[in-house]
Amino acid sequence: MSIPPETEKSLGQIVSEASEKASLLVREEIELAKAEVTTKVKTLGRGAAVGAAAGVFLFFALIFFLHALSWFFVDLLNITVSIWVGFLITTGILVLMAVVAGLLAKKWLSAGPPTPDMAIEEAKVTRDELEQVAYDTPKLPEEAS
């Protein structure tokens, strides 16, 4: 059975067709990648927005908690005339916490810049050992001249 001459394709046509299909495949893969990245970026953006909203809500909750804590001190000390004392106690607690946090931050940040001291020391030991080996290695007669 033979193939009719009009349906036979030359090698050039086959290569051209394969090249076009490969190019089309690459373009479609790029479009798919773009669509996938766009979807992921939108999802990350929504997640960041919702996370920021959660942070705002938590901040307001902290304000209400501190307000309630101040009123708790007022009730605990049975203060009816000078309500500000409860708020002053809460402020004092917050300032104390800020001082402790600041001192810890100063301690941890004053350690200096992050340098790989152990790696540097190990590199120096390795270099010294290699220099010692090179110094102790006897030279061949042709190298001596």
- Is residue 124 one of the residues assigned to a domain? no
Residue 60 CA to residue 68 CA, distance in Å, equals: 12
135: amino acid identity, one letter: Y
Range of the domain at 80: 13-110
Does any domain span residue 3?
no
**pLDDT at residue 2, as a whole number:** 59
Q: Which residues contact 69 (CB under 8 A, 6 or more apart)?
A: 90, 93
- Distances in whole angstroms, Cα of residue 64 to Cα of each of 69, 72, 91: 8, 12, 14
Q: What is the pLDDT of residues 7-46, one digit of tens each?
A: 677 888 888 888 888 888 888 888 888 888 888 899 999 9
Taking residues 98-104, report their average pLDDT.
Answer: 94
The residue ranking higher by pLDDT, 82 or 6, is 82
For 46, the 3-state DSSP assignment is helix
- Looking at residue 7, what is its pLDDT? 65
Query: What Cα–Cα distance (Å) separates residue 65 from each residue in 19, 33, 49, 62, 72?
Result: 68, 47, 24, 5, 10
Residue 131 included in any domain:
no
Residue 47 belongs to a domain: yes
| CA–CA gap between residue 12 and residue 50 (Å, rounded) | 57
For residue 51, what is the enclosing H or E element? Answer: helix 11-76
pTM of whole model > 0.85? no
Number of independent structural domains in the chain: 1
Is 80 contained in some domain? yes
In a domain, 49, yes or no: yes
Residue 120 lies in a domain: no
